[in-house]
Amino acid sequence: MFALSFVTLAAASVARAATYTVSDSFIGTSFLNGFTHEAIADPTHGRVNYVSQATAQSLNLTYASGNTFILRSDYTTTLNPSGAGRNSVRIQSKKQWSTHVEILDVRHMPQGCGSWPAYWTTNTNNWPAAGEIDIIEGVNDQAPNAATLHTTAGCTQPFTLNGNAGCGVKNPLVNSYGPSFNANGGGWYAMERTSTYIKVWFWPRNSATVPAQVKNGASNIDTSSWGKPFAAFVNNSCNIASHFGPENIIINLTFCGDWADYVNKNPAAFKNAYWDIAALRVYQ
């Protein structure tokens, strides 16, 4: 979720698919072992102060129990405009993946004016050469969600779309992001990455279209049975293998700099600025 995108064009769905077996499963406290809280300066220059795991747990900004993993921002402190930003969290997986499928089962995502949540993959030590895939990203509760690629020069996509062109492919479902997503109990996001294509799916909670293997957290999956993704990026004029290297998974919550004064003065507005994640599974 860096501020600058070199190429962010959308492509049509492709038919290729594959079968995968679960290699990593993050549920509840296993997030604390598999991810690192990054107490770093925000690369997007948001009005945020990312804190360590110890600080996040002591302030109840991170909570894990059973099949619940919570990441949230502070919502009680009025900020000094010349001081640090609002306390929040950014976690990065300790492992990296290339060809794989990842499925995020999320009940609630951060909402509130000025909130800027994201679920994405990249290699921050080799950006933008290793590419970036934004699976969930938005600001100010503005639905729907959009999936976006960021690369170095030399990566373009055809304009035949299953979605809308622009900085990425917009999901046609309003409940794919923000308050509508939360009111519906969330849903599942999935991303499949190979050396020749990248696909992203979304299924709302309780939708009849959710594949049973996704809903039930199956050990083995077959993406050919999932139906058409809302976004697919192909290899026609973008060498996926050379523009995307091994990447970490990142989940974070920052705040839009344009809303800094609002973020400073209205802590209660961020009471619902939290992630409630049931599970994250990676398949290879």
136 is written with which tokens?
Answer: 């969930």
Complete edge-to-edge strand list for the sheet that includes strand 115-122: 35-37, 90-93, 248-255, 115-122, 132-137, 146-150, 169-170
Q: Are 102 and 279 in contact (CB under 8 A)?
A: no
132 is catalytic: yes
Catalytic residue (one of 38, 102, 132, 247): 132
Q: How far apart are CA 106 and CA 187, in angstroms?
A: 6
Q: How far apart are CA 213 and CA 226, in angstroms?
A: 9
Q: How far apart are CA 247 and CA 235, in angstroms?
A: 18
Alpha helix (H) ranges present in 139-202?
Answer: 178-183
Quote the Cα angle for 248-160-233, to 5°: 15
Torsion over CA: 170, 171, 174, 180 (sign): negative
With CA atoms as reference, report the closest residue to 59 among 68, 67, 50: 50
Catalytic residue (one of 102, 137, 192, 247): 137
Supply the residues annotated as catalytic: 132, 137
